[in-house]
A and B are shown apart, each in its own frame.
Chain A
C-alpha cells in the first residue's frame, strides 16, 4: 500500500492507480485459488482458463449483437447448440437407464460421433458466413448488449460451469496429476476461444468494450468536472500569469484528472467486490462448513469416516473457487476495455497467481489479498527496480560497455528472477506464507 503511494509520488498517480486496480484483480484471483488450495488442498493450475472464460463473458454479455451475422448464421449456430444439449441429455439418459456394458459404451460413442459430424456439417458454412461479415470490425455473433456489470456474474457462472466439468473429470486424480490435468484443460479452453473467431473474434481481439465508469473524453467536456478540477488545483492555477496560460494549464490538468477519475471509479468498484468477497470467505472459513473443509484437507479418510461426503465437497469448493477466478477475469477485461485471447498464457495467469497464493499465506484470506498486492507490485515494478540496481552496480563502467548495455536491455526479465527467488525463499524459510493460517478454537 505504502509502496503504491510511493509510485504515485515518484512516477504518476495514473500509473499508481493502474497498479492498484490490477493488484485488486489479482487479489480476487488469489482469493479464488486460496479457497481451493488453502481450504481444501486442491491444486488448480487452470486459473488461466477460468480467467479467459470470465473475459469471454464480458464480450458475450455486453457487446451489442451483430444483426447481419445473426441473419446469416444465427439459426445454424442455435441448431448446433441444440444438438449439443441433445447429445448431453441423451448420454445422461443412456448412462442412467442402461446397465454398464459394451453396448452402452458403443451407444455413447455413436451419439458423440454422429453429433460431431452433424455439427461439422451444419456449423461449417455458417461459421464461414459469420466470419465474412465485415471481418475488420465484427465477423462474430456479438453479445447481448446488456450492462457490463452483469457480465461479472455471468463470468463467474461460466467459470463455475467449466469447473463442474473439470471437477467431474479430474478431481479423483492425485495432487500433481490434478495440477497438470487442470493446466492442460485450461490450455484447451484458451485455444478454443483463440481459434473460434465467430464466438469472440479469436486472436483478432475485441476492442472498445463497455465500461461501468464514464469515458475520459466525456469527462473532459463536462462542466462539472472542469469546475471540480479548477477548485482542486486553484492554488496552482493562481500562479499562472495570463488567462491563456491559465487555460493551457487547466486543459492539461483536466486531461490528467479525467484518467485518474476513471481509474478511481474502477478502483471503487473493485474495492466493493474485494470487500464483499472477503467478508463472505471470512465468514465461510470460520463456519462449520469451513471447519469441515479443513478436516477434509487434513485427513480425508477420517473426514469421510465421520460421514462427510468428500467427493461432493471437493467438487463444490472447486466450483466456488473457480467462479471467483471467473469474476476476476471479467473484472480484468472490463478494466482493460479489450479482450485479447492471445494474451492468456500460463506464465502470467497461472503461475504468477500461484506465487501470490503461496507467498501471501495459504488458507488465510488476508494473506491471499496481501500476496496479490505484493507479488503484483513486484511483477510490475521489477523492471524499474532492476534498472536502478544495474545502474548502481555498473556505475563505474563506461556507457558503451557491452555487459552494461546488455543488462540494461534485459531489465524487464528480472521480474522472473525476482518472483522466482521470492517464491523459493518463502517456500524454504516460511512455507506457510507471510500471514499464516489462523485457526480459532471455539
Chain B
C-alpha cells in the first residue's frame, strides 16, 4: 500500500507535470529545429513568435466569450487555434518576405541571420506589447480538473490523491496528435521528403528539381502551426505573459540542442529530457521517501537536490554538459 502511495506521489508531483511541460517544450524545440535545419539559422525570435500566435488566441477567446460561444467542458481557446494559426503563418510569411528572404538569397552566413532574427524579436515584442500589453492574462475556461484529489481518494481508498488538470491532459494529447501528423508528413509524403532532402544537401536537392520557394513556404507553415499550438498549450496550462514567453526561448533552445539541432526526433525527445531533469532535480523527495523507507530511516530534511530557484539553470547546465561532451546532441543533429 505504501509503495502505491509513493508512486502516486511521484506521479502527481513530478511525472505528470514533467510530461506536460516537456510536451510544451518539445513543440517549441521542433519549431526551432525545423527553422535551423531548413532555413539554417538559430531563430532568436522563437519565444516571441509563440507569444504572437498565443496573443490572437487570447484575444479571440475573449471575443468568443463575449458573444457567447464556448466549447462545452473544453477551453474555448481550442476553438480559436485555427484562426490564431492563420494569423501566425501570415505574420511569419510577411516577416520572411520582407526580412529573411533577402539574406537567404544572398547566402549570408548563419550568424548574420541570427542577428536579423534578434531584430525580428525586438519588433515582434513591440507589436505584442502594443496590442495586448505586458500584463498577465488567464484565458482558461471550461472544466478545470479531469480528476480531483478527493475523488481519487474516494475511488481508490489511498491516502495520497492524484490530480489531473484538464490542461495537462489536453497538452499531452494534442502534442501527440500534432507530432504524429508532422512525422508522418515529413517521412511519408513527397513534400516532406523534399524538405528532408533540402535540409540534407541544398545543392543536390535543387539539382533534382525541388522548388526551394515551396520548401521554405511549407517550413513556415509547419513552424507557424507548431509555434501557435505550443504557445497556446503553455498559456492554458500556466498563463499568458509576453515576458515569460520570451524567457521560455532559452529552455526551448536547450531542448533543441540537447536533442541534436536539426533533428526533429531529437528535439521532441530533448524537450522531455529538459523537463524531466528540471522537475526531478528540484523536487523535494521527503514525502516520497517517507512511504518507501522504514520509519527509522525517515529523512528530516526536504531531501531536495537543488532549490526550485535553479529550475532554468538546470536545463542550461545540461545543455553545457552536452555541448562539451557531445556537441551534435544526443541524437545525431543536422538532419531532418
Closest to A195 in B: B309
**Would A416 and B126 count as touching, CB distance under 8 A?**
yes
User: Is B84 in contact with chain A by the CB < 8 A criterion?
Assistant: no
Number of A-B contacts (CB under 8 A): 125
Q: Which of B119, B121, B307, B324 contacts A427 (CB 8 A)?
A: B119
A173 to B333 Cα, complex, angstroms: 14
Q: Which of A391-437 contact B (CB under 8 A)?
A: 407, 409-410, 413-421, 423-424, 427-428, 431
User: Is A179 in contact with chain B by the CB < 8 A criterion?
Assistant: yes
Interface size on B, residues (CB 8 A): 44
**Would A424 and B319 count as touching, CB distance under 8 A?**
no
User: Is A118 in contact with chain B by the CB < 8 A criterion?
Assistant: no
Q: Which of A43, A183, A416, A431 contacts B122 (CB 8 A)?
A: A416
Q: Which of B91-150 contact A (CB under 8 A)?
A: 99, 102, 109-112, 114-116, 118-127, 129-130, 133-134
CB distance from B300 to the nearest CB of A (A): 13
**Would B327 and A427 count as touching, CB distance under 8 A?**
no
**Would A424 and B120 count as touching, CB distance under 8 A?**
yes
Centre residue among A180, A413, A419 by max chain B CB count within 10 A: A180
**Would A187 and B257 count as touching, CB distance under 8 A?**
no
Contacts of A183 in B (CB 8 A): 250
A158 to B68 Cα, complex, angstroms: 59
Centre residue among B110, B257, B323 by max chain A CB count within 10 A: B323
Contacts of B323 in A (CB 8 A): 169-170, 173, 177, 181
**Would A169 and B123 count as touching, CB distance under 8 A?**
no
**Would A191 and B126 count as touching, CB distance under 8 A?**
no
Contacts of A415 in B (CB 8 A): 126
**Would B110 and A407 count as touching, CB distance under 8 A?**
no
Contacts of B204 in A (CB 8 A): none
User: Is A355 in contact with chain B by the CB < 8 A criterion?
Assistant: yes
Contacts of A198 in B (CB 8 A): none
Q: Which of A315-351 contact B (CB under 8 A)?
A: 346-347, 351
A176 to B309 Cα, complex, angstroms: 28
User: Is A354 in contact with chain B by the CB < 8 A criterion?
Assistant: yes
Closest to B114 in A: A176
Identify the A interface with B (CB < 8 A).
43, 169-170, 172-173, 175-177, 179-181, 183-185, 187-188, 191-192, 194-195, 346-347, 351, 354-355, 358, 407, 409-410, 413-421, 423-424, 427-428, 431
Q: List 7 A-B pairs, Cβ < 8 Å.
A: A184-B254, A195-B309, A354-B115, A416-B126, A421-B123, A423-B115, A427-B112
Identify the B interface with A (CB < 8 A).
41-42, 44, 99, 102, 109-112, 114-116, 118-127, 129-130, 133-134, 246, 250, 253-254, 257, 261, 307, 309-310, 312-313, 316-317, 319-320, 323-324, 327
